[in-house]
Structure 1
Amino acid sequence: SCAGTTIASSSFSSTPAGATYSWTNSNTAIGLQASGTGNVPSFTAINTTAAAISASITVTPTINGCAGNPITYTITVNPLPVIVSATVTSESVCDASDGTITINATGAAPLEYSINGGSTFLQNGGAFTRLAAGSYSVMVRNASGCTTAGPTLSVSSPGAPPAPEITAVISPICQGGTINITIANPDSLATYSWTGPLGFTANGTSMTRTNATTAMSGNYAVTARIGSCVSTAKTFSLIVDPLPVVTVPANMIYCAGASIPAGSFISTPAGATYNWTNSNPAIGLPASGSGDMPVFTALNSGSAPITATITVTPLLNGCTGAQASYTITVNPLPVVNLPANTVICTGATVPAALFTSTPAGATFSWSNSNTAIGLPASGTGNIPSFTAINPGSAPISATLTVTPMVNGCTGPSRTYTITVNPLPTVTVPVSFNACAGSSIPASSFSSNPTGATYTWT
């Protein structure tokens, strides 16, 4: 038997029946008293040594006063193995199944070891590896089949990994751009899972979403997993800002010298700021600027229209929207080319005045300061030919003011004059008779108006 077990009582019988018994024990170290009468009682086997110990039990029967021959049997008590130590190491990380138990024991070889309460024994020197987290019951069995139960050891797990930390979110995230978030200091043993709006999922130490839309704005989460252990989620919010769309004024046409009003831009969503460029500063506007377009005076010193393209770029929440353009055309002011001042006699035909302009193609309106010369007070187009009139005795003049217009632009008015001289009336001496050989005085003529020259026949 093994130390620590209960030895059942020994019941004797005799022939003839009815004997009484006395017995002796040669080795009380087994846990049985040195002697007794009747049957040997049950007892707990003891062996505090490292080797088996035996006791001889001698039984003497007596009946009717007659003692029979003694009979002897032995009880051997095998020692238990001694568990000197049992140590444990826990899993390195959750669900790694790399725990160990090491049992150090002494006893009759070969020793066998169990960590499942004796269900199975192994001759492995007491080293158990690759253990998952849990409780393990240590037991050692020696060559005699005697077992010693050791402690119940726990292989523990460090638990779930901590919630992951992410790198700072680069802001802004603009529509059409890329969302990229990375785990800060990732654990090489962990796997990471991401979730987000629109059913987004991803795995890895970073997550990327290209061609971002505003619908991708919202709450995101990432968890770390080691084996079957999952961390609490790290949650964060992202906003994908829309690209602003700018509405610019319609194309504009102005005349040189006109005041061009401020150009107000509108964005969707509202609140954008603006940068703009001007392809042709010759119109009087700087080459670039920010904000709304300022008021400026249109310039065109040439003879042909000039055009500038205004390109506007909206910026909202750090996001740059698509450019939009419109044009500003500045037409030059036409300059009318006039006839020279004209002096003509009353009754003469004044030829038509044919106007030209730079640039060509203007229309003309004109006014006449003195209709007495025979020309209406105003008109359009060229001035028609007319008969000059001056019923008086002194020259009369009219100032003709001509205003050109081309492409809706009115040029500066220019003037020239038409002077109509009256026909002179000569006053001659009265008729007279003279004798031949007499001296005839000179004949002096006078005119109205004065100053005429004369021819006579």
Structure 2
Amino acid sequence: GLAGGTYNISVRNIGGTCQVNGAIIILDTPVAPIIDDVVFTSPTNCNSNNGQISIAATFAVTPGVEFSINGVTWQASNTFTGLSAGTYNVFVRNIGGTCQVTYASNPVILTAPNAATITNVASTNPTNCNVTDGTITITAQGGIAPLQYSINGGATWQNNGGVYTNLAGGTYNIAVRNGNGSCQITGQTVVLTDKVAPIIANVAHTNITNCGVTDGTITITASSAQGAVEFSINGGGTWSQTGTFIGLTAGTYNIRVRNIDGSCVVTDAPVIITAPVAPVIDAVASSNPVGCNTNDGQISIGATFSQPIEFSIDGGVNWSTNNTFTGLSAGTYNVFIRNVGGTCQVAYNMNPVILTAPNAPSITNVASTDITDCGLTDGTITITAQGGTAPLQYSINGGTTWQQNGGVYTGLAAGTYNIQARNAMVLVW
């Protein structure tokens, strides 16, 4: 338990005799080091280990002193690097472990910046095909204002309050950091989904089947990856959830299909529905049979048309592509025309057309007188007829010759006579 100092060594017998002087021993007293200063820098970022503590000390012993910032582990270097935020207690001692000195201003506290906290991320998808109106709104609190925001994982930053507009569909990686660039924190991944346009697979139509009807149809077949679609045939003026349109008039129809939410209007080629054009009866000419019980009457129909037509004189029972009907007997005829194929039947507005035959005369009496004497030719025949078309014509030789003589024949020789009468229009009875 000797203190430091100089000691003269002597030995003697008990009783004090025979003292012998030995060596002079000098015991050194350790000299405590002095902590002159402690300089520290805090970590520059959250969760980083780049803090530092440097200790300046004065010491008198050899080989020197060693340093600690936790009193447990020691090192010869006076600088401690790679430190995270936290509380540190600085000590210095002589190498060998003597004279440990505590820093009077312990503890040394290294602080890191406060990190922001992302409390919410809201997003809206683009509202239509081929538009970039998606949005992302990042809500964060804490940290060092003004916070900076990123939607590309920190590649670029904006001091925009966390509001991003005019975004296209895609994947966005959310990040927030302090206004001084420290403490980047990663948020969720946001996927904005672009609208998907419908696909029109087919557009079929049927034209008007006849004049005066509205039975045209359009059938649109389409689908969308987004689900249901709706259809329009008037360029988007009105919409229907069915792709079949019936009862259509002739005209041009502008085809559109869109998603049920109204997005992504797709256009197809216009559909033209046509209707048959009705022919027009311009004139009907007729000629009556020229004789009784003859079939030489005729009806001719004049018409204007835009496609091949056919004609009928029996009310539409039988049809012909020839507009002239011959070999007709007297009677009543109803004239119609229509397009070949049966559409657009038109009735003649002067129906019926009546063909009439001449009235036949009627022989009511034939009187004769024989020859009165040999060698004479004084026989007579008197034909009495009524009706017919005056003046009547008469024949006594079976129609070989005719006379308009009132039916009186005189100066006849004996013989056989074949009596006939006819109208002046050569109608034989």
- Partner residue in 2 for 1:290: 239
Task: Give the SS at the match of 2:252.
Answer: strand
Percent of pairs with identical residues: 14
- Partner residue in 1 for 2:67: 114
Q: Which amino acid aligns with 1:253?
A: N
- Partner residue in 2 for 1:260: 215
Confirm or deny: 8 A CA contact 1:243 1:320 kept in the other structure. yes
Task: Give the SS at the match of 2:234.
Answer: strand
- Partner residue in 1 for 2:337: 403
2:228 counterpart of 1:274: no
Tell me which of 45, 53, 65 is aligned to 1:93: 45
1:166 Cα deviation (Å)?
7.8
Pairing 1:20-419 to 2, within 5 Å after superposition: 42-43=1-2, 55-57=5-7, 61-63=11-13, 64-66=15-17, 68=19, 73-83=25-35, 89-94=41-46, 96-101=48-53, 103=55, 114-115=67-68, 117-122=73-78, 128=79, 131-133=82-84, 138-140=90-92, 148-150=100-102, 158=112, 168-172=122-126, 184=138, 204=155, 234=188, 242-254=196-208, 255-260=210-215, 263=218, 265-269=220-224, 270-277=227-234, 288-291=237-240, 292=242, 295-296=246-247, 298-299=249-250, 308-317=252-261, 319-320=263-264, 322-325=266-269, 327-342=271-286, 344-347=288-291, 349-351=296-298, 353-367=300-314, 378-382=318-322, 384-387=324-327, 389-390=329-330, 398-406=332-340, 409-415=343-349, 416=351, 417-419=353-355
Tell me which of 387, 392, 403 is aligned to 1:448: 387
- Partner residue in 1 for 2:424: none
Q: Which amino acid aligns with 2:213?
A: A
Give CA deviations for 1:90-131 in whole Å, capped at 9, x if unaligned. Answer: 423245443132547677699977347553245xxxxx5754
Confirm or deny: 8 A CA contact 2:12 2:18 kept in the other structure. yes
Alignment RMSD: 5.7
Give CA deviations for 1:6-56 in whole Å, capped at 9, x if unaligned. Answer: xxxxxxxxxxxxxxxxxxxxxxxxxxxxxxxxxxxx35x5xxxxxxxx745
TM value normalised by structure 2: 0.56
In the aligned structure 2, how far is the partner of 1:378 from the partner of 1:193? 81
Task: Give the SS at the match of 1:342.
Answer: strand
In the aligned structure 1, how far is the partner of 2:302 from the partner of 2:184? 93
1:364 Cα deviation (Å)?
2.8
Confirm or deny: 8 A CA contact 2:10 2:19 kept in the other structure. yes
Confirm or deny: 8 A CA contact 1:312 1:324 kept in the other structure. yes
In the aligned structure 2, how far is the partner of 1:56 from the partner of 1:453? 193
Task: Give the SS at the match of 2:284.
Answer: coil
TM value normalised by structure 1: 0.53
In the aligned structure 2, how far is the partner of 1:407 from the partner of 1:211? 57
In the aligned structure 1, how far is the partner of 2:288 from the partner of 2:312? 23
Confirm or deny: 8 A CA contact 1:88 1:153 kept in the other structure. no
Confirm or deny: 8 A CA contact 1:172 1:317 kept in the other structure. no
Structure 1 residues 345 and 264: alpha-carbon distance in aligned structure 2, compared to 1, 3 A threshold: closer
Give CA deviations for 1:57-109 in whole Å, capped at 9, x if unaligned. Answer: 45554325337477765444354134477575542324544313254767769
1:271 Cα deviation (Å)?
1.8
Structure 1 residues 139 and 385: alpha-carbon distance in aligned structure 2, compared to 1, 3 A threshold: closer
Task: Give the SS at the match of 1:77.
Answer: coil
Confirm or deny: 8 A CA contact 2:34 2:101 kept in the other structure. no
Structure 1 residues 345 and 260: alpha-carbon distance in aligned structure 2, compared to 1, 3 A threshold: closer
Q: Which amino acid aligns with 1:150?
A: T
Structure 1 residues 350 and 308: alpha-carbon distance in aligned structure 2, compared to 1, 3 A threshold: same
Task: Give the SS at the match of 1:381.
Answer: coil
Confirm or deny: 8 A CA contact 2:297 2:329 kept in the other structure. no
Q: Which amino acid aligns with 2:274?
A: V
1:385 Cα deviation (Å)?
4.5
* Unmatched runs of 5 consecutive residues or more in structure 1: 1-41, 46-53, 123-127, 195-201, 279-286, 300-306, 370-376, 391-396, 432-444
Confirm or deny: 8 A CA contact 1:256 1:298 kept in the other structure. no
Task: Give the SS at the match of 1:204.
Answer: coil
1:141 Cα deviation (Å)?
6.2
Confirm or deny: 8 A CA contact 1:251 1:326 kept in the other structure. no
* Unmatched runs of 5 consecutive residues or more in structure 2: 158-166, 368-383, 394-403, 406-429
In the aligned structure 1, how far is the partner of 2:133 from the partner of 2:323? 75
Confirm or deny: 8 A CA contact 1:90 1:98 kept in the other structure. yes
